[in-house]
Structure 1
Amino acid sequence: MQTPKAILFDLDGTLADTAPDLAAAVNVMRTKRQLPPTPYELLRPFASAGARGLIGAGFNITPEAPEYESMRIEFLDQYESAIALHSKLFEEVPTLLQGLDALQLPWGIVTNKAMRFTNALVPQLDLKQARCVISGDTTPHAKPHPAPLLEAARQIGITPEHCWYVGDDLRDIQAAKAAGMLSVAAAWGYCGATEPTQWDANLVLHRPQDLLEHIKEWL
């Protein structure tokens, strides 16, 4: 474990609770098809898995289904039209980011969300002070490929081995390891179908404030 000189975060399920708006987009689609809404509790774990996960949870179909692509486009358009009605930063995240600023530790965002959504959402969540914002289409590869994390380190000007990456999905941990960064599982997030303790992350934390305490121990 290296002394952190920069902290990178996933967006959905790590910094921000965006599941309400993502789930709402699925249920608008279901209503149009005269189907009852899928309970929020069933959709929430898939919020970090993007259109593939949410459409799968809401309609029980996979990308191989002939109707999937048109439904994916419909879902994304619906989400974009109401992207920040209920989304907000997780409790303790503002305090965490203020703590990083106080420690003069640069921080940035690396998400698999496409740029069209990231650019619309980040300003509304008051995350404009991020030193970099890397979207799913900023580089030719998305997580779990290390390319987005390496691009973030390049933009901030910190070597990857001195960056910590925090995320709530197994892909985040895989990407961090592939990039040579310390991996932190954000167990307060959505986390998908597996327990964060099974991801082999360097740290598994249950509150954003815990991250700040660990960082202070290393400085």
Structure 2
Amino acid sequence: MTKVIIFDFDGTLADTINILLSITNRLSAEFGFKSATKEELAQLSNLNSWQILRYSGISIFKVPLLIRKLKAELRSEIPNIKLFSGIKEVLLELKKLGFQLGIITSNSRENVLALLEINGLQDSFTFIYSGSTFGKNKVIDRWLKREHINPEEVIYVGDEIRDIDAAKKTGIKIIAVGWGFNSLEALAAHNPDFLIERPQELIEIMSNLG
């Protein structure tokens, strides 16, 4: 029986894609990689994280500092960021159904809390963990051990190929969502347990699994 639903943040709950693209492009000259247009973003949506890094030309050694700067600059944009349509209502309904909700993200905890508070959702999540962009499975593993949670009681909801990979490495089910960064085709190729196109489908799936 599934008791806990872990959500990714960017691209799953929060529609940050265009803002992140704008910030990344501003930082491209400083970090020595090429900027991307919205048209190129559509092409990148079919690639995994490592393929995107190779495409951009950024040095792997500069990535940690770039990510820290992205998070810092994103903080001032929080008032301009919207939740995806229908997400708030779905989260409230899942909470009402008795599921424990949490967030594991590569964004900063401060950014997540700020947006949740704006939307009146700060009390809807039991935990919020921030971890490495490329080590989400390690964050999930640490959480499972700390809380003594059986992986079979957990499901992860994310919008990227790396979310699918992280869930599989930790032995939990994954719901991939098609409204975020990676395309439906790219997500389907990595065989998530569920692949959905509308937030409301989360309630249907969880009603059957709960």
TM-score, structure 2 length as denominator? Answer: 0.76
- Distance in 2 (alpha carbons) for counterparts of 1:116 and 1:69: 18
Q: Percent identity?
A: 26
Q: Is the 8 A contact 2:79 2:115 kept in 1?
A: no
Aligned to 1:135: 130
Where in structure 1 are there 5+ consecutive unaligned residues? none
Matched residue, 1:166: 157
Let me know the Cα RMSD of the aligned residues: 3.6
Equivalent residue in structure 1 for 2:10, among 12, 16, 31:
12
CA deviations over 1:166-187 (Å, ceiling 9, x no partner)? 1111111111112221111111
Residue 205 (1) aligns with residue 203 (2): no
Contact 1:20/1:87, CA 8 A, preserved across alignment: no
Aligned partner of 1:102 in structure 2 is 96
Comparing 186-195 and 160-169, the one that deviates more: 186-195
Counterpart in the other structure of 1:150: 141
Select the residue among 66, 73, 77 that pairs with 1:78: 73
**Structure 2 counterpart SS, 1:166:** strand
Cα distance, 1:100 vs structure 2: 0.7
SS at match of 2:174: strand
Q: CA deviation at 1:196?
A: 0.9
Partner secondary structure for residue 89 of structure 2:
helix
Segments of 4+ in structure 1 off by > 6 A?
52-57, 67-70
**Which stretches in structure 2 are left out of the alignment for 5+ residues?**
none
Q: Deviation digits for residues 67-114 of structure 1, max 9, x if unmatched?
A: 77776665554334x331431111111111011111011110011224
1:123 equivalenced with 2:117 (yes/no): yes
Alignment partner, residue 40 of structure 1: 38
C-alpha deviation, 1:38, in angstroms: 4.5
Q: Which has the higher contact order (CA 8 A, sep 6+)?
A: 2
Cα distance change, pair 101–193 in 1 and its aligned pair in 2 (3 A):
closer
Aligned to 2:57: 61
- The answer to whether structure 1 residue 214 and structure 2 residue 205 are counterparts is yes
TM-score, normalised with respect to structure 1: 0.74
Amino acid at match of 2:101: W
When the two structures are aligned, how many residues end up with a matched partner?
Answer: 204
CA separation in 1, counterparts of 2:51 and 2:81? Answer: 18
